[in-house]
A = this chain, B = another copy of it.
Amino acid sequence: MTAVEHRPANPAATSADRPIGFGRIQRKEDPRFVRGKGRYVDDIVLPGMLHGAILRSPVAHARLVSVDTTEALAHPKVHAVITGRDLEGLNLAWAPTLSADVQAVLATDKVRFQGQEVAFVVAEDRYAARDALELIDVEYEELPPVIDARRALDPGAPVIRDDLAGRTDNHVFDWEAGDAAETDAVFAAAEVVVAQEVVYPRVHPAPMETCGALADYDPVDGTLTLYETTQAPHAHRTLFAMVAGIPEHKIRVISPDIGGGFGNKVGIYPGYILAVVGSIVTGRPVKWMEDRSENLMSTSFARDYIMRGEIAATREGRILAVRTHVLADHGAFNATAQPTKYPAGFFSIFTGSYDLQAAHCAVTGVYTNKAPGGVAYACSFRVTEAVYLVERMVDVLAAELGMDPAELRLRNFIRPEQFPYRNKTGWEYDSGDYEPAMRKALEMAGYDELRREQAEKRARGELMGIGVSFFTETVGAGPRKHMDILGLGMNDGAEVRVHPTGKAVVRLSVQTQGQGHETTFAQILAEELGIPPEDIDVVHGDTDRTPFGLGTYGSRSTPVSGGAVALAARKVRDKARAIAAAMLETRPEDLEWEKGRWYVQGDPSAGRTIAEIALGAHGTVALPEGVDGNLDAEVTYDPPNLTFPFGAYVCVVDVDRGTGKVRVRRFVAVDDCGTRINPMIIEGQVHGGLADGVGMALMEFIGFDEQGNCLGGSFMDYLIPTAMEVPDWETGHTVTPSPHHPIGAKGIGESATVGSPPAVVNAVVDALAPLGVRHMDMPCTPARVWAAMQGRATPPI
């Protein structure tokens, strides 16, 4: 036993020589993760806890004739079996989705996709619960399924959502943006028009941790404590109050460590509600955790957009207009998590990074007999699809014009002096300086040299491809006036408290899923207040300990909560100034700030550090009028606009002529997310997103057969890239701060996921160009590349 034994075991956290503020510091959260001390929902064990399991439909479309739970209830370890009928008694059989639709919590009338929730068993352990599922006798009367979105609106197609009053087809919505007549006029007069159908297939975020919940309902005081895998604890709490009838102040949602979200943990899944009902019914805590197959088959997928795009241009390569129509497959329920009622991300950015004369887009949503959800996978609400479409189309145009695709992009960029730039659907891009980013990427890649190498290889019959993409993203929603989720404005809060000893806590409404919030937000506070990051505790994931806000998705955390933290810190700094003035017996306006300290102008030795001021604030200093005895502030930040990070990517692939196998040989990514808080964390985000993009471009795919059987329900079928499939990433950056954000930061969480798929596919198509290939759809699996090489249509999988 020595005097240092009670010090933290993380040496990085006690280093005195690290920078106070922005910079490449080690992540504060990593010591617990690298030691296996992370605490996830499934790690939590409560006394008397029971375990739930969900019986899921084996068929995609059927009438539910009967559900007989007699045998399951007789299982000695089973405490409860809950069916849709039971939920009807609680008025909980259907729950509102985040998109003006409803979704069955447990099926009552029909099942509408393979994997839909039919019954819930609560038992002493997970094994008994699973065993008892097989004792439930369900009679299904099968119906013909609707699987292909293109067929969903056919006359005579089976009506999937006959639960909705008056519904006679599978139509969900028609939305449009831009001026159709103006756009058509530009197209009619254009020298060149190219068109292409582009499919962004259904993929899945596939986080390392699946979804789950542990519900603990206390019948004595009527409180519900809900441990959940969620990216948005406060929004869930409010929605639970609205859905379940438990008053909001009686609900506590706790999101402990989360093993990856990527949008998969935004929505409220039936399993969460079932855990709550299970706890209410049994009077015991009930845990429900998905297995991998359940996660892949039934939680929010992404994409599933069939897009027809057209570009109008001049012969010289001046892009004039974009026109597109999208068929959006929403599965059996429109459970989309998105702000406002339309795909804001798509509409804001299908015009790309280019200065257009006109643009128009229409999206038609349809129901199919597939799992519901969608869009929330690292996409900022359909930005990913829009960027893929426009970047693929630009390459199609380049091919048509016989022009280099990088050169074509450089000719059409919005120019720096045009920012803030209002695009043809009315969205204002906050800042951008695209050409330097593009040139930097080309330079890092050695673009000209690559083209020479490609020419040589082509001469030898080898298939080498160079793909370029340039993207602008719409991230960081609000503003509250423009966007909401079920009436809740897209704002987020931060509270800053400086304790009497000068240590601090910052409490956030956003929730980390591995992206380093505990470090990034500590650095923002450190930068503003001069308190070292190791002296700052970052709290999130507990509605009882954090201010209200809409949570983490769409790269919102830094743009929204980052603004909140900076502004709250500045409030604290101003308050500290008033208190320091009282301590120094001078006027606040006579004080100057240096990081961590207010001092008297002209007398730097006369000052008070933040720690000294903190003790004074909580101590006996006579405070000025209107200043109370703490060093705390809370801010709910309403961003005046979204932020628009951008980037330029270059991908080099080799395609095996004998097998069609694509190898990504190099990948250069130049990103601009404005102010860079922790470059190491930014690079980590980019690395992860690039792997996402390579995965989607080459292998990831949730397919269905004609009966609606999901063909991507395990990691044997749903392939994700490993270290073998990705190159060493080559990253660079430019810095174009957001002019409206308190620290100029824009958000980086999704950039690479958004920007990389078109670079990879453009590279594959470029490689296959000598074979006459102008386009192929993702994923570019060997079988599909082989088919393209043979001039055949892309096979389904």
**A residues in contact (CB < 8 Å) with B:** 1-3, 5-10, 13, 31-32, 35, 37, 45, 47, 86, 89-91, 217-222, 238, 241-242, 244-250, 280-281, 480-481, 484, 487-489, 491, 493, 497, 499-501, 503-505, 535-537, 539, 544-545, 547-548, 615, 618-623, 628-630, 632, 634-638
A41 to B1, CA, bound (A): 27
Knowing A480-B629, A622-B481, the reply to whether A220 touches B32 (Cβ < 8 A) is yes
Residue of B nearest to A493 (CB): B630
Contact A242 B537 (CB under 8 A): no
Contacts beyond the supplied A2-B89, A6-B222, A628-B637: 7 A-B pairs with Cβ under 8 Å: A2-B90, A6-B219, A6-B280, A37-B220, A238-B500, A547-B630, A628-B636
Residues of B within 8 A of A10 (CB): 220-222
Residue of B nearest to A33 (CB): B220
Q: Which residues of B have CB within 8 Å of A35?
A: 220
When A9-B220, A222-B9 are in contact, do A484 and B620 touch as well, CB less than 8 Å? yes
Do the beta carbons of B249 and A536 come within 8 Å of each other? Answer: yes
Asked if residues A628 and B638 are in contact (CB atoms below 8 Å), the reply is yes
Q: What is the minimal beta-carbon distance from A666 to any residue of chain B, in angstroms?
A: 39
Which of B90, B499, B501, B620 meets A1, CB within 8 Å? B90
Nearest B residue (CB) for A221: B32
B249–A491 CB distance below 8 A: no
User: Contact between B244 and A6 (Cβ–Cβ < 8 Å)?
Assistant: yes
CA distance A669 to B548 in the complex (A): 47
Chain B residues within an 8 Å CB radius of A248: 499-501, 503
Contacts of A489 in B (CB 8 A): 618-621, 629
Given A250-B8, A618-B489, residue A90 in contact with residue B501 (CB < 8 A):
no
Residue with the highest number of chain B CB atoms closer than 10 Å, among A3, A246, A249, A500: A249
User: Which among B497, B548, B615, B619 is the interface contact of A618 at CB below 8 angstroms?
Assistant: B548
CB distance from A98 to the nearest CB of B (A): 15
- Interfacial chain B residues near A619, Cβ < 8 Å: 480, 484, 487-489
Residues of chain B within 8 A of A548, CB atoms compared: 497, 499-500, 618, 630, 632
**Which listed residue, B217, B246, B535, touches A249 by the CB 8 Å rule?**
B535
* Given A8-B221, A619-B480, also A1-B638 (CB < 8 A): no
Inter-subunit contact A499/B238 (CB<8 Å) = yes
Bound: A637/B222 CA distance, A:
32
Residue of B nearest to A502 (CB): B248
Choose one: B32, B484, B504, B638; the contact of A623 (CB below 8 Å). B638
Contact B219–A615 (Cβ < 8 Å): no
- Which of A3, A37, A481, A618: most chain B CB closer than 10 A? A618
Closest to A90 in B: B3
A545–B547 touching, CB < 8 Å: no
- Closest Cβ of chain B to A27, distance in Å, is 12
B246 touches A6 (CB 8 A): yes
Task: Give the residue of B32, B497, B501, B635 whose beta carbon is less than 8 angstroms from that of A247.
Answer: B501
- Asked if A630 and B620 make an inter-chain contact with CB atoms under 8 angstroms apart, the answer reads no
Q: Roughly how many angstroms separate A248 CA and B629 CA in the complex, as a whole number?
A: 18
| Nearest 4 interchain pairs by C-beta | A8-B222, A249-B503, A249-B537, A6-B280
Do residues B535 and A247 form an inter-chain contact, with CB atoms below 8 A? yes
A244 CB contacts on chain B under 8 angstroms: 6
Contact A89 B636, CB 8 Å, known A219-B9, A221-B10, A489-B620: no
Complex Cα distance, B250 from A499, in Å, reads 11
A615 to chain B, nearest CB (A): 7
Name the distance in Å between A360's Cβ and chain B's nearest Cβ: 27
The residue in chain B whose Cβ has the minimal distance to the Cβ of A34 is: B220
Contacts A242-B501, A638-B628 given: A618-B91 contact, CB under 8 Å? no
Residue of B with least CB distance to A35: B220
List B contacts of A632 (CB < 8 A): 547-548, 634, 636
Cβ of A247 and Cβ of B503 under 8 Å apart?
A: yes
- B545 near A480 with CB under 8 A, answer no
Q: Given the complex of chains A and B, what is the CA–CA distance between A536 and B37 in angstroms?
A: 36
Q: A242 — which chain B residues lie within 8 A by C-beta?
A: 501
Quick one: which of A37, A493, A548 has the most chain B CB within 10 A? A548
Cβ A487 vs Cβ B222 within 8 A: no
Most buried by B among A37, A481, A499, A500: A500
- Cβ contacts A to B, 14 pairs, < 8 Å: A3-B90, A5-B90, A5-B281, A9-B222, A31-B221, A32-B220, A241-B499, A241-B501, A480-B623, A481-B620, A488-B619, A628-B636, A630-B636, A634-B634
Q: A249-B499, A638-B628 are in contact. Are A281 and B1 (CB under 8 A)?
A: yes
What residues of B have a CB within 8 angstroms of the CB of A630 in the complex? 493, 547-548, 634, 636
Q: Please give, as numbers and ranges, the residues of chain B lying within 8 Å of A503 by CB-CB distance.
A: 241, 247-250
The reply to whether B7 and A222 form a contact with Cβ atoms under 8 Å apart is: yes
Q: Which residues of B are found within 8 Å of A638, using beta-carbon distances? A: 623, 628-629
Tell me the complex Cα distance, A247–B629, Å: 21
